[in-house]
Amino acid sequence: MILNGAHVLVTRPEHQAENLSRLIEQRGGIAVRFPTLEIISLDDAEPVKTTLENLDSFDWVIFISANAVNFALKANGGKIRFMKSVRFAAVGQSTALAMKMAGLPVDLVPEAGYNSEALLAMPQLQQVEGQNFLIVRGEGGREQLATTLRSRGAAVNYLEVYKRIIPRIDNSPVVELLAQHRLDVITVTSAEALQNLHFMLDENNDLLSLIPLVVVSDRIRRQAFDMGFNRIAVTDKPIDAAILETVITCVTGE
């Protein structure tokens, strides 16, 4: 088997980790599930419901992630009503798929790239002066999308539909692997997940930084470098298949 028993740390949230873990195990690796993010609903869903019932006041609705779609649906009783006058955009293909599964149109999704920059480069978002945008996301997050749209003359509002917390889990199995030098690769798919990993393994970060790290963007790579990691690989795409291929490269050198 290609991965030959290599231990691969999977830091995705628990509800999103299974596919990558299964792929790793199918190629002969040992997936070490250690979620460093937990994604939960907001305490008060009423503001979300109110906004989702009035989407026709916006020209564009942009979903930042599949989580944004799914938690918006959950807060609104499993359905999002939309008007044909509203255009819907997705930051990437996985978000677009979640929208389609929710019965929403996908009027705009980047042809290449999986981030705000790729969406902002689309011709449809160049001349947006006077248009009204709603960005559906979790609490906090990057501001570049809103900032750039506002600089182009658009009005931008946020609808935050979930929040991220640090999971309360036992870190001793990972600490033991680190101490025994048996953790072979770490996978991280968000900047916040990387920060939380550092926090959750606090006294073991010197050992942690020695391990090959697989990330899904150059932005996370730069953050990881600043945190002391020096063996960092960036995937071609932020999807599980690409993460697996990069893991295999890290383990086999091929």
Listed by start position, the domains of the chain span 7-37+167-252, 41-164
Residue bearing tokens 């199918």: 26
Averaged pLDDT in 10-residue chunks for the chain of 254 residues: 94 94 97 97 92 95 95 92 92 93 95 87 96 95 93 97 95 96 97 96 93 95 95 93 97 89
For residue 126, the model assigns a pLDDT of 97
Instruction: Please indicate whether the domains covering 7-37+167-252 and 41-164 agree at the CATH topology level.
Output: yes
For residue 253, the model assigns a pLDDT of 87
Non-local (6+) Cβ contacts of 202 within 8 A are none
Give the total residue count for the chain: 254
For residue 140, the model assigns a pLDDT of 85
Contact (CB, 8 A) for 80 and 198: no
What are the distances in angstroms from CA 163 to CA 27, 34, 67, 140? 33, 19, 10, 8
pTM of the predicted protein model: 0.86
Alpha-carbon gap, residue 142 to 11, rounded angstroms: 20
**How is domain 7-37+167-252 classified at the architecture level of CATH?**
3-Layer(aba) Sandwich (3.40)
For residue 83, the model assigns a pLDDT of 84
Residue bearing tokens 């798929």: 97
Beta-bridged to residue 234, according to DSSP, are 215
Alpha helices (H) in 185-239, listed in sequence order: 191-200, 205-208, 218-226
Query: Is CATH 3.40.50.10090 correct for 41-164?
Result: yes
